[in-house]
Amino acid sequence: MQDYKDICHKVVKLTDEVASFIAEERTNFDSSKIEYKGLNDLVSYVDKTAEKKIVDGLMKILPDAGFIGEEGTNRSSKNGLKWIIDPLDGTTNFIHGIPIFSISIALISTTDYCLGVVREVNLNECFYAWKDGGAFLNGVPISVSSQQNLKSGLIATGFPYYNFEKMPQYMNILMGMMKGCHGIRRLGSAAVDLAYVACGRLEGFFEYNLNAWDVAGGSIIVKEAGGTVTTFSNEDTFIEDREIIAAPPVIHKEMQSIIYKKWNS
């Protein structure tokens, strides 16, 4: 049986090293080396190099685990475990010099989520959790917000940069949320959004058209911090269905009610 606590701490140390690389590259970033993977989908040599550093480090920790990486790393698992990696979540922020971007790493088994690590590079904050071990920020236990209703909450979301087919429904959701909470924020890194829900800075987060590497690490941390994570229709398949609501249980119920009705209207 794997010691997920020990593995998690090793991953935290690895992200510290990779975050130093990303921060250093930001100070001398060459914007002429930006590439486009698709419409408004940017990637740089920093993303690619960071992913290689992460993969190399994780292979030393669990040599037989598989990989799913945003920048193309894909390997089958030999032991039922798989890493899901976003080496630089918030690439557009990084490229434009906006200081919210992060590293996100999750370890999953064939049946469960094992651990998650999200490191926000600029504040050097590392959020992490392992199965049944609680959630932490730089070694200090964290939990989701104690607010008991949506009207007292601050909510984060994201906007799609392609696949705009459901924008009318999404705008209806935004209108409902704007009327029902303290405000809505768009930070530009889903991993950070989830980490902030886990530590109580945000009362909730929702978005659609996300990939596994955007949410896998952060969702584990939210769950271990006492939060609820589902699809818009209140199912557990938020990775497969590419839509997510994350919040403390009571606020999640309110958010899900608003989102589900307007999303399906």
pLDDT score, position 43: 61
Tell me the three state secondary structure of residue 46. Answer: helix
Order across the sheet with 81-89: list the strands: 74-75, 66-69, 81-89, 102-109, 113-120, 125-130, 135-137, 140-142
Tell me how far apart the alpha carbons of residues 90 and 75 are, in angstroms, rounded to a whole number: 24
* Residues in a beta bridge with 142: 135
pLDDT score, position 35: 66
Q: All domains of the chain, ordered by start, with CATH?
A: 4-141 (3.30.540.10), 150-263 (3.40.190.80)
Tell me, what amino acid is at 204? G
Does the annotation place 236 within a ligand binding site? no
Statement: the pTM of the whole predicted model exceeds 0.75: yes
Residue 104 φ then ψ, to 5°: -130, 125
Tell me the three state secondary structure of residue 82. Answer: strand
Does the annotation place 214 within a ligand binding site? yes
Tell me how far apart the alpha carbons of residues 118 and 106 are, in angstroms, rounded to a whole number: 9
Does the annotation place 86 within a ligand binding site? yes
Q: Report the DSSP pairing between strands 243-247 and 135-137.
A: unpaired
Residue 87 φ then ψ, to 5°: -70, -25
Does the annotation place 88 within a ligand binding site? yes
Tell me how far apart the alpha carbons of residues 100 and 162 are, in angstroms, rounded to a whole number: 21
Tell me the three state secondary structure of residue 248. Answer: coil
Tell me the three state secondary structure of residue 4. Answer: helix
Task: Say if residue 160 is exposed, middle or buried (CB neighbours under 10 Å; 0-12, 13-18, 19+).
Answer: middle
pLDDT score, position 36: 60
* Residues in a beta bridge with 54: none
Per-residue pLDDT tens, the chain, 265 aa: give them: 789 999 999 999 999 999 999 999 888 876 666 666 544 445 678 888 999 999 999 999 999 999 999 888 889 998 999 999 999 999 889 988 999 999 999 999 988 999 999 999 999 999 999 999 999 999 999 999 999 999 999 999 998 766 677 888 888 999 888 888 999 999 999 999 999 999 999 999 999 999 999 999 999 999 999 999 999 999 999 999 999 999 999 999 999 999 999 998 7
Helices first, then strands: H and E counts in the chain: 8, 15
* Residues in a beta bridge with 127: 118, 137
pLDDT score, position 33: 66
* Residues in a beta bridge with 120: 102, 125
Residue in 181, 166, 128, 182 with CA at minimum distance from that of residue 10: 128
pLDDT score, position 26: 87
Q: Which two tokens stand for residue 251?
A: 């606020």
